[in-house]
A and B are shown apart, each in its own frame.
Chain A
Amino acid sequence: EADIYQTPRYLVIGTGKKITLECSQTMGHDKMYWYQQDPGMELHLIHYSYGVNSTEKGDLSSESTVSRIRTEHFPLTLESARPSHTSQYLCASSEYRGTGGDEQYFGPGTRLTVT
């Protein structure tokens, strides 16, 4: 059973505000990921981390930033929210299995609306 948590689950915020989306996992997984997904559309990887103090940009350019100071915590920050940031943000984590691709477990997501 995957234990990965995201807060808030829903957020409506005005343009220009700074926001931080929280993601925590209790499985001790080294790897964590942030995806962005619009309704009915594909998953896009925006950030990932292979461990503490490791962060990389994903395949989709994003104005957000991430940090990984603790294994279990991988927050995503938008310094100045814009309506174009309206989307669902999904956090995932995985454990290294040595097969090239790992089983990723997703949190419940944060649905962000910027007005």
Chain B
Amino acid sequence: QKEVEQNSGPLSVPEGAIASLNCTYSDRGSQSFFWYRQYSGKSPELIMSIYSNGDKEDGRFTAQLNKASQYVSLLIRDSQPSDSATYLCAAGYPMGSSNTGKLIFGQGTTLQVKP
């Protein structure tokens, strides 16, 4: 079982719609979670981090964390063609772990926003 799992997609949504990207993680000790956006041929760019249960909003992006269900999601409102990219979910190792600071990345979900 992969430690951070994402559906590879592609997820296709029309322009203006809400895109919902999902991620599950296996280590209950993880306390920090991150969403990265990666355009084809480019490096990952951090777009959201979340540490507490609930929602965190930043512009058109909302990250949601449910530690009981070990589930993280990213909502993109009013999706634009420029949002078309691969979105990587990452979880931090538990505090006190010898791997502290390191991130476990999922395989990424490809989002296609159609005009």
Taking beta carbons and an 8 Å cutoff, which residues of A are in contact with B? 2, 31, 33, 39, 42-43, 45, 48, 50, 90, 94, 96-109
- Docked complex Cα distance between A42 and B109 (Å): 11
Residue-by-residue, is B62-101 near A (CB-CB < 8 Å gives 1, otherwise 0)? 0000000000000000000000000010111111110011
Q: Per-residue CB proximity of B98-111 to A under 8 Å, as 1/0? A: 00111101111000
23 residue pairs A–B, Cβ–Cβ below 8 Å: A31-B101, A39-B41, A42-B106, A42-B108, A43-B88, A97-B32, A99-B51, A100-B29, A100-B30, A100-B31, A100-B32, A100-B96, A100-B97, A101-B30, A101-B31, A101-B102, A101-B103, A102-B103, A104-B34, A105-B46, A106-B43, A107-B43, A109-B43
Is B42 close to A, CB under 8 A?
Answer: yes
**Nearest chain B CB to A29's CB is how many angstroms away?**
10
Give the B interface residue count (CB, 8 A).
31
- Set A33, A42, A104, A108: member contacting B46, Cβ < 8 A: A104
